Amino acid sequence: MDLDFSRDGGLYAEEKFIEAVDELIVGRGAFADRLTRAIFVLSRLSRGGAPVSANAELQRRFDRMMSRVTSTPAWEDEGMIVASVRGLDDTEADWIAREIVALYIQVVGEKGGA
């Protein structure tokens, strides 16, 4: 899953990270619900093909995080992301949330927004 920096010189990726962090911080509902919505937002950045991020470490971290939150098969009417988040223990959920914020800081910094 490659970070899509090809749209608008990276502004699309920055926008999606801003939306994801906003969802984590001020979104409504329980933490798991906010985390799920943040991941849904970031899933829009994933696409097939060759990596487009010039930063290999950023790409690796994003891929690792997205792999974890799409690792559980869908069950009945819930999708992979919902099933994966439901299966996270507290430590994993905290790591995912912190990683979203850390990646946001890095993405915004690389694009000159910080």
Per-chain mean pLDDT for the chain: 84
pLDDT at 10 over 80: no
- Res 35: pLDDT: 97
Residue with more model confidence, 113 or 74: 74
Determine if residue 72 is left, alpha or beta; phi over 0 gives left, psi from -120 to 50 gives alpha, anything else beta: beta
Which of 1-10, 18-27, 54-63, 64-73 shows the lowest mean pLDDT across its residues? 1-10
- Res 11: pLDDT: 78
- Res 51: pLDDT: 45
Residue with more model confidence, 55 or 65: 65
pTM for this structure? Answer: 0.84
Long-range contacts of 3-6 (CB under 8 A, 24+ apart): 3/45, 3/46, 3/51, 3/52, 3/53, 3/58, 3/59, 3/62, 3/107, 4/45, 4/46, 4/47, 4/52, 5/52, 5/53, 5/54, 6/52
Which of 32-41, 49-58, 68-77 shows the lowest mean pLDDT across its residues? 49-58
